[in-house]
Amino acid sequence: MIMDINPILLASAIMVASTPILLAAIGELVVERAGVLNLGVEGMMITGAVVGFIAAHETESTTLGFFGAAVGGAVVSMIFGLLTQYLLTNQVATGLALTLFGVGLSALVGQGYQATNQVPVTKMPIPLLSDIPVVGPILFRHDGVVYLSLVIVAAVFVFLSRSRAGMILRAVGENHDAAHALGYNVRRVRLMAIAFGGACAGLGGAYISLARVPQWVDNITAGTGWIALAIVVFASWKPWRLLIGAYLFGGVTALQINIQAMGLDIPVEYLSMSPYIATILVLVFLSGGRAPGSLGRIFHASS
């Protein structure tokens, strides 16, 4: 019966299902490479999801929706940034608070928008490339955000490994005291990284509420932010491995939905836990990288 699934449609669906995870994870990867552990990804994603939905609905433009989502994500991430960088709070607890706050805030703000219809996200097939058999429908007939997520991953790769600013960011993450001694502004680098992470998480959240579902329901992100955090660990903090991780999870999600739709004899509930169980298995068996040296530690320049 598995044969009933059209492999090309499935592969294309995997791209769509992976995009929110990929976006949130690439943002968090940059944040963690700067030495900050922001557990508030889920909170920033859901804020992005609701802000994006409302912005798109009010302006009738999904582009503005995604833009608003990125801004919204970045703004709430700054609560985390100010607390951890200036008031030197515990990053684990602050991240959790951000998630609780974001989930509550989105439920409150999104109240009036639950039944409203959504402006569709337009597909942007790439001319010529989208006509290639098999590869075309899988890779080149998506909306702009799918392409954007891949561009961001590539850009982060280049930024971290080839640019001077990326080197400074990694130095800050590996050893903040040494970076401080060399005259780099640890706080500013980290705040910028946190804002970038927030914007990416916001985009990822909006992709769920605008493109994947597309609707506003409470708690719409349903743990995607936490899966994104797990993917960063799986990827050993390397952008290209992140891509593999995100598509693997998108694969589990898309396949699970396909099997549900086929009406196999497996109860729906047990299928819908598969992404979470897959996350645990991957964390156990496939992650062996080393975390950035200063990850999660509080920086206080006691000169």
Q: Which of 99, 104, 119 is nearest to 54 (CA)?
A: 119
Straight-line distance from the first to the last Cα atom of the chain, in angstroms, rounded to the nearest whole number: 67
279 in contact with another protein (CB under 8 A): yes
Count of residues that bind another protein according to CB under 8 A: 45
CB 186 within 8 A of CB 301: yes
Q: Which of 133, 183, 263, 267 binds another protein (CB under 8 A)?
A: 267
CB of 101 to another protein, least distance (A): 3
261 in contact with another protein (CB under 8 A): no
Q: Could you say which residues in the range 198-257 bind another protein, by CB under 8 A? A: 218, 222-223, 226-227, 229-230, 233
12 in contact with another protein (CB under 8 A): no
Contact string 97-116 vs another protein (x = CB under 8 A): xx-xxxxxx-xx--x-----
CB of 96 to another protein, least distance (A): 6
**CA dist., res. 24 & res. 69, Å (int):** 12
129 in contact with another protein (CB under 8 A): no
Residue with tokens 């955000």: 145
188 in contact with another protein (CB under 8 A): no
Q: Which of 1, 2, 3, 87 binds another protein (CB under 8 A)?
A: 87
CB of 161 to another protein, least distance (A): 25
CB of 271 to another protein, least distance (A): 9
263 in contact with another protein (CB under 8 A): no
CB of 53 to another protein, least distance (A): 16
Residue with tokens 């899966």: 227
Encoding tokens for residue 220? 């719409």
CB of 118 to another protein, least distance (A): 21
Q: Which amino acid is at 238?
A: K
User: Is the Cβ of residue 112 or residue 120 nearer to another protein in the bound state?
Assistant: 112
CB of 134 to another protein, least distance (A): 34
Q: Could you say which residues in the range 23-42 bind another protein, by CB under 8 A? A: 39
126 in contact with another protein (CB under 8 A): no
**CA dist., res. 54 & res. 116, Å (int):** 10
- Give contact residues for another protein (rule: CB under 8 A): 39, 79, 83, 87-90, 92-94, 96-98, 100-105, 107-108, 111, 218, 222-223, 226-227, 229-230, 233, 267, 269-270, 272-273, 276-277, 279-280, 283-285, 287, 300, 302
